[in-house]
């Protein structure tokens, strides 16, 4: 049961609409924000949007050794993972407050089943 009786459904709908607008704005901001991950002391860098789209990959000439492509491949994977971690951190920092604003344990609406 809710403190003070029944919930005000119009107020809940208004809050849900406001949160939806905030969520859309945060998603648009993430899509427009770029983060960079690096590996090998900066020999390889990967740039990714906050929503996880890889937009650029830069490889320094010093990283290219035709006799050792495996190391280069590992550096590329590590740089992309580093960029993904940075994108995930950015998303968590932007989206976390919105999820917390839903109220209730785990971000639910505080209603049974939600």
CA distance 105 to 102: 9
Strand order through the sheet with 34-39: 34-39, 44-49, 54-59
The pLDDT score that the predictor gives to residue 99 is: 64
Q: Which two tokens stand for residue 35?
A: 């983060």
Q: What is residue 107's predicted lDDT score, i.e. its pLDDT? A: 46
pLDDT tens figures, 86-95: 999 998 888 8
Reported as a single tens digit per residue, the pLDDT across 19-77 is: 888 888 888 888 899 999 999 999 999 999 988 999 999 999 999 999 999 999 999 99
CATH code for the domain defined by 33-101 = 3.30.1310.10
Q: Cα separations (Å) of 81 from 1, 20, 71?
A: 46, 30, 15
- What's residue 4's pLDDT? 63
Position 3 scores a pLDDT of 62
What is the average per-residue pLDDT within 5-25? Answer: 84
Task: Extract the tokens encoding 71.
Answer: 């190391």
What count of residues does the chain have? 114
pLDDT score recorded for residue 78: 98
């Amino acid at each position: 049961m809710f403190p003070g009786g029944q919930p005000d459904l119009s107020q809940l709908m208004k809050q849900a609409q406001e949160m939806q607008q905030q969520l859309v704005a945060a998603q648009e901001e993430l899509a427009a924000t770029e983060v960079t991950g690096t590996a090998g002391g900066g020999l390889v860098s990967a740039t990714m949007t906050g929503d996880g789209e890889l937009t650029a990959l830069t490889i320094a000439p010093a990283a290219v050794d035709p006799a050792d492509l495996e190391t280069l491949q590992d550096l590329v994977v590590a740089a992309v993972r580093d960029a993904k971690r940075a994108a995930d951190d950015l998303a968590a920092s932007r989206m976390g407050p919105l999820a917390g604003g839903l109220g209730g344990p785990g971000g639910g609406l505080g209603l049974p089943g939600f």
